[in-house]
Amino acid sequence: FPGFHSDPETLGKKVNSEIIESYNSAQNKMILTGRDINLAKLIDSRLEELGMSHPNYGVHTFKSGRLSIEQYKIATIMKSISDFGWTCVHFYEDRKDWLLNAMKAVNETFPTVTFQPHLITNVKEKMKLT
């Protein structure tokens, strides 16, 4: 709905059991979200409330501008690979089309980088990536 990404009431108040173990065990991590930049401090507070460590590569929030949220996420992933020389990237996303587009962009630009897509759903049934 309009305003979803800027509404503080839409931020979760519990961890996603499907990904928390991966998040906690990741050595290098960032949170890349389409949430509005004005929610950044609230996201940081929520991480603390949930007992989660702050990602060592930051919380990246969306600032309205010339890019769509999908384009922003892909551009941020690409810049991170370029800046830090990642050879393997795990990307967790709840939009299958955005996930597949990010995978395509990384594979085309950085063919030696292993891109691991993870589709996050709120349903018990897993959706297969094709």
d(CA 22, CA 24): 6
Q: What is the pTM of this model?
A: 0.87
Q: Output the pLDDT for position 77.
A: 98
Residues 41-62 have pLDDT tens digits of 999 999 999 999 999 999 999 9
> Rounded distance, CA 130 to CA 128, Å?
6
Q: 29-45, pLDDT tens digit by residue?
A: 999 999 999 999 999 99
Q: What is the pLDDT of residues 71-85, one digit of tens each?
A: 999 999 999 999 999
**Strand partners of residue 117:** 91
Share of the chain above pLDDT 70, in %: 92
Q: Give φ, ψ of 112 to 5 degrees.
A: -90, -5
93 and 77 Cβ atoms separated by less than 8 Å: no
